[in-house]
């Protein structure tokens, strides 16, 4: 294994992708950086502003509040979706037609476009015609997502759990299916309890897919836009205005390109930092384990 001749020429095969990424991501990102230090009024009218936009964005109360809301939202949905997804994957049928049927059923929410999810829940929660809104009202529970911030939050979280837990469940399901039967046989010989099987066989074997699930769900929820926008429009007040909605209002609504560029970069750096920390932590947790640990 170790006496392979290193041949780095294979890296040349990555070049086309690099060119593609350069045009689709790197050059636009550079432009955003350029915009963030200027006040661009038109093709020939632009002024260098230096760090002014960054300063005002970092000290903007509304944005700071949106940032905190965003973090809480991401943490809450991760805390619900990851355990729930693992749980669903564990009780899903393992073979036969039931397995396929459950897989298809569970995938359905993932196929619905974001805007439509928002509309579905918007109608679902209406007090006059929506099943849930009407049902809760008939039960005598006060429920109004356009007036009560708590209701709006609960509904958005419920909606996100409904929409995205299947992804976590599917990733975990595929992770579980890839565990060789021999591990379970060994566990049976040891008369290991269900919990021990989960804790020492299934969970360690799931680490890789869980990294992907946590990363995907974190980044996705951190950039959530269409669903809450359609459901609550960010309200009541600004109770459910998340970061990307603040950004869109600024960049598209008010055409404040300089401030929104500065804000996008801060947003991007936070996502980059969190993703890197997640990735490194989990990859190092695996590295530290002794090789005979089986993970």
Partner 1 sequence: MSWMVWTMPTAIFFSSIAAMLAGMTIWEILSPTIERKGFLPIATTRGDRLFIGLLSAAFIHLGVIGFTALSIWIALAVSAVWLLVLMRWG
Q: How far is 96 from 99, CA to CA, in rounded Å?
A: 6
Residue among 269, 286, 289, 293 that touches partner 1 (CB under 8 A): 269
User: Which of residues 24 and 51 has its CB atom nearest to partner 1 in the complex?
Assistant: 51
Residue among 18, 19, 51, 190 that touches partner 1 (CB under 8 A): 51
Shortest Å, Cβ 293 to partner 1: 18
Centre a 10 Å sphere on the Cβ of residue 89 and count the other Cβ atoms it contains: 22
Name the β-bridge partners of 47: 39
User: Which of residues 14 and 131 has its CB atom nearest to partner 1 in the complex?
Assistant: 14
Centre a 10 Å sphere on the Cβ of residue 70 and count the other Cβ atoms it contains: 22
Shortest Å, Cβ 268 to partner 1: 10
CB under 8 A: which stretch of 85-93, 122-130, 224-232, 264-272 binds partner 1? 264-272
Cβ proximity of 127 and 143 under 8 Å: yes
Q: 235-258 burial, b for 16+ CB within 10 Å, e for fewer?
A: bbeebbbbbbbbbeebbeeeebbb
Helix, strand, coil share (%) of the chain residues, nearest 5: 75, 5, 20
Residue among 276, 286, 289, 293 that touches partner 1 (CB under 8 A): 276
286: contact with partner 1 by CB under 8 A: no
* Residues forming the site for partner 1 (CB under 8 A): 27, 30-31, 33-35, 37-38, 40, 43, 46, 48, 50-51, 54-55, 57-59, 266, 269, 272-273, 276, 280, 284, 287
């Amino acid at each position: 294994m170790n006496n392979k001749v290193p041949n780095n020429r294979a890296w040349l095969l990555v070049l086309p992708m690099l060119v593609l990424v350069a045009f689709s991501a790197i050059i636009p990102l550079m432009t955003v950086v350029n915009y963030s230090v200027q006040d661009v009024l038109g093709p020939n009218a632009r002024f260098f502003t230096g760090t002014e936009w960054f300063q005002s964005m970092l000290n903007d109360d509304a944005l700071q509040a949106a940032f905190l809301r965003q973090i809480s939202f991401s943490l809450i949905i991760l805390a619900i979706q990851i355990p729930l997804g693992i749980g669903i994957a564990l009780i899903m049928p393992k073979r036969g037609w039931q397995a396929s049927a459950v897989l298809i059923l569970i995938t359905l929410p993932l196929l619905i476009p974001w805007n439509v999810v928002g509309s579905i829940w918007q109608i679902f929660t209406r007090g006059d015609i929506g099943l849930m809104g009407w049902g809760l009202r008939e039960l005598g529970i006060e429920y109004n997502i356009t007036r009560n911030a708590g209701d709006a939050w609960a509904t958005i979280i419920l909606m996100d759990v409904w929409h995205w837990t299947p992804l976590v469940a599917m990733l975990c399901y595929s992770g579980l299916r890839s565990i060789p039967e021999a591990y379970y046989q060994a566990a049976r010989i040891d008369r290991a309890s269900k919990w021990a099987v989960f804790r020492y066989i299934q969970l360690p074997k799931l680490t890789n897919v869980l990294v992907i699930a946590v990363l995907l769900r974190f980044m996705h929820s951190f950039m959530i836009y269409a669903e809450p926008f359609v459901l609550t429009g960010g309200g009541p007040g600004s109770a459910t205005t998340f970061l990307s909605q603040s950004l869109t209002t600024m960049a598209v609504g008010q055409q404040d390109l300089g401030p929104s560029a500065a804000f996008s970069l801060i947003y991007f750096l936070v996502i980059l930092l969190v993703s890197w920390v997640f990735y490194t932590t989990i990859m190092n947790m695996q590295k530290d384990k002794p090789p005979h640990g089986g993970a």
